[in-house]
Structure 1
């Protein structure tokens, strides 16, 4: 029998779903299990035994027609949609599978949880995906995601840390950026300057600024005050290996938050415009940092000027430092 799992993105959501994908694989040990995902996430599953991975672009003309054509050609008997988008629903509906599971409810799924997977007020996607597994008679995931790179990834990171002269130091990872579409998720640059400078100068911690090309500009500003710029230097699994060296991390609501958390490293996440209860890094619920204002969460990618971005502006560096002290990271 052929089984298809659909999980296209985004990166943080893919990481959250990794334990559920593992549960599906274990539930069908004698069958041919495939994962359909985006090309940039395929490497995350390189060590998943008994899993075949097929990738297609998430955007553009080929993102719809080509995967549908491929799905139909494979004659899957079971399709489990962990994505729940209009595009993935179209793939499910045209798959020809007898068993079609998704968050639902209704068409095109034959199996779906009641109340969209929300039970006892728990709305986080990790728990919602567990309700999906239950509806498909698959054991739920009990533990969160776990990321670890290869020996080559470890060597690459170790050599870089030694080159920077910080291999023996306590390391703090900070991701100050966000996707260009979600500028409202960003803490103010001045707050990051204050926090990074205090961590480096008062506590002797080695601050490393993380991010991709969209974070290059802000990291170039921040590194002038403290720390080391690691923008764009590491693959996803190399970043996981870097996280294994870290004392703790501070991030926005972003993919690095989920990557670092999946290594077991403590992650303090700054939330404002988005709902932390839906999106916090698994295992890091008690380290979420927020400042309550009536308009949060607003889910607006750019804060209207009249609101002054108060959800994050009023979340001061002193509040972050106080939490770190309370948790025993600073003394």
Structure 2
């Protein structure tokens, strides 16, 4: 075992895009610590998905209790102390997870790689808030002696999507995004026009999203009846498999685009001024970013110009 310690805790809560960007670091921690017991502390939406990775011996759910919710907070403190961790990798580095460092008594504090005050392996680079999430994780792990982060591998996530009966040539359209951040969404009408364009080119548009995208997807289907609506029908593994088989994907700055691009799909991701692609853009084999302060000003022609359908 290269890394010190038999009991390792990794903290990563989410959201989906952040979890996908942490896959390489997850792999690096497992490789560094060999056959150590590694526990992941995460939130409920990602537990079952990440369990399939085989990188963790246990996955614990963090309900993220408020300070006054003692009936939930005290059991969390006891569980963390009872884990007898030799080292903690805090990949969340939030105010909340910084406070978890203080849950451990002074004489039994584990080595801690993060930004908690007084921790053993502080990531105190002045660049940490100015670089992309992946580079920040890589730099943080170097502080703890992990010098190599491998290319991401999501082969474990793949599911059988034959039940969808998809054609050979299809493109994924992801018109959704954070429900409370409408400024991060390209207008549904533009997605509808893009779907029509792809359909005319012999590439079937496949729409993915959740209940929050129902109106947008209904509009796209109205304009392009040849599209296939898979909204609310896919889990994370399905999205990975769909991405692996797609000709291309176009979508807003949202979690599924991170997973789609990570499995090698040619991806065009649309950013507004609401988020910075230099800090959080999806990564993959071929990821192209288009940015307009107001996505309503992003033309269909500009997006089509990035597709390279003749390439």
Give TM-score, length-normalised by structure 2: 0.88
Out of 289, 295, 299, which is 1:312 matched to?
A: 295
Rounded to whole Å, the distance in 2 between the matches of 1:59 and 1:180 is 23
- Aligned pairs (5 A) from 1:147-296: 148-150=156-158, 153-154=159-160, 157-160=161-164, 162=165, 166-168=166-168, 170-201=169-200, 203-226=201-224, 227-272=227-272, 273-283=274-284, 286-291=287-292, 296=293
RMSD: 2.2
Q: Which residue pairs with 2:137 in the alignment?
A: 129
Out of 28, 31, 42, which is 1:26 matched to?
A: 31
Asked if 1:323 is matched to 2:306, the reply is yes
CA contact (8 A) 1:101 1:112 kept: yes
Structure 2: runs of 5+ lacking an equivalent? 1-5
CA contact (8 A) 2:196 2:223 kept: yes
- SS, match of residue 274 in structure 1: coil
Q: Which residue pairs with 1:304 in the alignment?
A: none
CA contact (8 A) 2:81 2:103 kept: yes
CA contact (8 A) 1:148 1:263 kept: no
Matched length: 296
Asked if 1:94 is matched to 2:103, the reply is yes
CA contact (8 A) 2:266 2:286 kept: no
Shift of 1:7: 0.4
Q: 1:330 to 1:255 in 2, by over 3 A?
A: same
Q: Which residue pairs with 1:47 in the alignment?
A: 53
Rounded to whole Å, the distance in 1 between the matches of 2:278 and 2:92 is 19
Q: 1:101 to 1:145 in 2, by over 3 A?
A: same
Rounded to whole Å, the distance in 1 between the matches of 2:73 and 2:283 is 31
Q: 1:206 to 1:63 in 2, by over 3 A?
A: farther
Rounded to whole Å, the distance in 2 between the matches of 1:114 and 1:270 is 32
Structure 1: runs of 5+ lacking an equivalent? 297-310
CA contact (8 A) 1:144 1:283 kept: no
Give TM-score, length-normalised by structure 1: 0.83
Out of 143, 146, 161, which is 2:154 matched to?
A: 146
Rounded to whole Å, the distance in 2 between the matches of 1:46 and 1:271 is 31
Output one character per residue of 1:32-67: Cα deviation in whole Å (capped at 9) or x when no partner: 111111121122232324532112335675775443
